[in-house]
């Protein structure tokens, strides 16, 4: 352990405890290599304790009226407002995104907390006329139990808020495993929930690896709910391991999102949208634009403008206000991203700019990759099919609108999509025909709002959605209620023939 590095612990049943093994790992600033804290390398024993605490807390938490649960979420949201700058600075230090983006990450958690708190006075069911006399029919939402929440590092405050706020307002309790790259932010998140008045055991925090903590959480028989955001490969394993227990499983997986630029597009606006979508968060977003599908009549003009815009981007520490693109999260990510540059070159794509690790001056201390743009890419190339999860995007030339749609849909994922056009007819056809959970018109592929469903089609997930009222459909079960006040046995369809 580095000298002076603070030691953090798990939060189980309201107590801060280490791992029984005594083993730890460090969180490291990807821009500087500086150690930020030491965290417990937990295992199945800690998961079991956390699940037991959550299961016990569920007995009383599910009975707390939803408007009262909402008051805690409102309080949590207000604490996020008060600590927004502090949390944003920690986020930039722990995972690298530039400070304004980190502030946006926290703001998304603020918005989600307030939104889900509002659902505490809604959680609507339905009433409907009975087919029989003197009988009342309604449906209500009910909580399910302990939710296992497994989150990634790229949105270390926002994504936990999407899952945990919806779980809590629905009356569930939580065992939360944050990513190993952002354990400090996971700790601060849980600390603020406790400060907001959340009872002990309602949210429990267990640090550690996916293999030791995550797998036990997935397989634990007392965890009926699992919400996971991560790669397709790991998501498939989560589904397989959870299947024998018939768990409710929500998977938010990969993306290979495309921006279509038609011949009538506002090219200046398109360039702005592409750069923001491809290189925001150093391309480390599931909604990042890693493909740009361009009508042949504007291909050359767009390529020229885009190269110039990308080469103006400044690499550096995200705390520096002059920085446009921060580091990628760790060395393994850096190596993976660079391997795709080699793949693209081997496939015959034309490297227009970037394509190298940045190692001069202060950049040598961190994990920096130059924003990378490939031209003359074919839709079937690996760099046009596989999720790179870094600051790389590719240009694909098409002849017309129909080919653009075919190319856009010609991938295994279906998360986000975009089209730049001034033709309202094309815009609405794209909305109809693009195989994606999200479509933007005259905007990039990033920028979702918390009151609409978030998620994708095909290999992007398993059909569930986060955010908006759709999130409640995962974290609750429906109960149909029939109240017969006729004073006699009525046998439904038998007596209704």
Query: Is the CA virtual torsion 53, 54, 59, 61 positive or negative?
Result: positive
Percentage of the chain exceeding pLDDT 90: 98
**What is the pLDDT, as a whole number, of residue 3?**
56
**What is the pLDDT, as a whole number, of residue 493?**
87
Q: How far apart are CA 107 and CA 109, in angstroms?
A: 5
- The pLDDT of 367-396, averaged and rounded, is 98
**pTM: predicted TM-score of the whole model, two decimal places:** 0.96
Residue 297 is encoded by which pair of tokens? Answer: 């009549």
**Rounded (to 5) percent helix, strand, coil in the chain:** 40, 20, 40
Q: Given a cut of 70, is residue 2 above it in pLDDT? A: no
Active site residues: 252, 286
Q: Given a cut of 90, is residue 466 above it in pLDDT? A: yes
Model confidence over 286-323: pLDDT tens digits? 999 999 999 999 999 999 999 999 999 999 999 999 99
Neighbours of 366 (CB within 10 A): 25
Would you list the DSSP string of 151-162? --SSSTTHHHHH
In total, the chain counts a number of residues equal to 497
Mean pLDDT in the chain? Answer: 97
What are the backbone angles phi and psi of residue 291, rounded to the nearest 5°? -140, 135
Helix (H) or strand (E) segment spanning residue 54: helix 44-61
**Cβ contact 325:313 at 8 Å:** yes
Q: Where are the alpha helices (DSSP H) in 243-381?
A: 267-279, 299-311, 331-346
- The pLDDT of 139-157, averaged and rounded, is 98
DSSP structure class, residue 399 = S
Q: Given a cut of 70, is residue 472 above it in pLDDT? A: yes
**Cβ contact 193:43 at 8 Å:** no
The torsion defined by the Cα of 25, 29, 34 and 38, in degrees rounded to 10, comes to -20
Task: List the domains of the chain with CATH numbers.
Answer: 10-253+461-480 (3.40.605.10), 257-441 (3.40.309.10)
Model confidence over 229-258: pLDDT tens digits? 999 999 999 999 999 999 999 999 999 999
Q: How far apart are CA 476 and CA 69, in angstroms?
A: 15
Identify the residue whose tokens are 């590719």: 394
**What is the pLDDT, as a whole number, of residue 1?**
47
- The pLDDT of 472-488, averaged and rounded, is 97
* SS3 of residue 145 by DSSP: coil
């Amino acid at each position: 352990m580095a000298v002076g590095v603070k030691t953090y612990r798990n939060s189980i049943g309201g107590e801060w405890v280490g791992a029984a093994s005594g083993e730890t790992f460090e969180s490291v600033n990807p821009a500087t290599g500086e150690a930020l804290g030491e965290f417990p390398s937990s295992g199945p024993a800690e998961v079991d304790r956390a699940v037991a605490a959550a299961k016990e807390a569920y007995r009383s938490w599910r009975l707390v009226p939803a408007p009262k649960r909402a008051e805690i979420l409102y309080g949590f949201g207000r604490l996020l407002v008060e600590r927004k700058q502090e949390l944003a600075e920690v986020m930039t230090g722990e995972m690298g995104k530039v400070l304004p983006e980190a502030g946006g990450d926290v703001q998304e958690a603020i918005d989600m907390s307030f939104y889900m708190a509002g659902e505490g006075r809604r959680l609507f069911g339905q009433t409907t006329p009975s087919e029989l006399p003197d009988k009342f029919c309604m449906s209500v939402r009910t909580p399910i139990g302990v939710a296992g929440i497994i989150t990634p590092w790229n949105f270390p405050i926002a994504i936990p808020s999407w899952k945990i706020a919806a779980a809590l307002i629905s009356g569930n309790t939580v065992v939360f495993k944050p990513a190993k790259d952002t354990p400090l932010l996971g700790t601060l998140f849980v600390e603020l929930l406790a400060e907001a008045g959340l009872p002990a055991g309602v949210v429990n925090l267990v640090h550690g690896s996916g293999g030791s903590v995550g797998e036990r959480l997935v397989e634990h028989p007392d965890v009926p709910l699992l919400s996971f955001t991560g790669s397709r490969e790991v998501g498939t394993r989560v589904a397989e391991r959870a299947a024998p227990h018939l768990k409710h499983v929500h998977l938010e997986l990969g993306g290979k999102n495309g921006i279509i630029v038609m011949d009538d597009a506002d090219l200046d606006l398109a360039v702005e949208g592409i750069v923001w979508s491809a290189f925001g968060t150093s391309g480390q977003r599931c909604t990042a634009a890693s493909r740009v599908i361009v009508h042949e009549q504007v291909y050359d003009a767009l390529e020229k403008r885009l190269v110039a815009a990308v080469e103006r981007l400044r690499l550096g520490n995200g705390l520096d206000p002059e920085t446009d693109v921060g580091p990628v999260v760790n060395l393994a990510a850096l190596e993976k991203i660079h391997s795709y540059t080699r793949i693209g070159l081997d496939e015959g794509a034309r490297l227009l700019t970037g394509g190298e690790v940045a190692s001069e001056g202060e950049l040598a201390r961190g994990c920096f990759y130059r924003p990378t743009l490939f031209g003359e890419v074919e839709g079937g190339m690996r760099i046009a099919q596989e999720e790179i999860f870094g600051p790389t995007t590719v240009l694909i030339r098409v002849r017309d609108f129909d080919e653009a749609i075919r190319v856009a849909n010609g991938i295994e994922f279906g998360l986000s999509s975009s089209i730049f056009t001034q033709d309202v007819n094309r815009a609405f056809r794209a909305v109809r025909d693009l195989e994606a959970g999200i479509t933007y018109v005259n905007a990039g592929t990033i920028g979702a709002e918390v009151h609409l469903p978030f998620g994708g089609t095909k290999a992007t997930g398993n059909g569930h959605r986060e955010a908006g009222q759709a999130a409640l459909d995962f974290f609750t079960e429906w109960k149909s209620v029939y109240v017969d006040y006729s004073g006699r046995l009525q046998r439904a369809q038998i007596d209704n023939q």
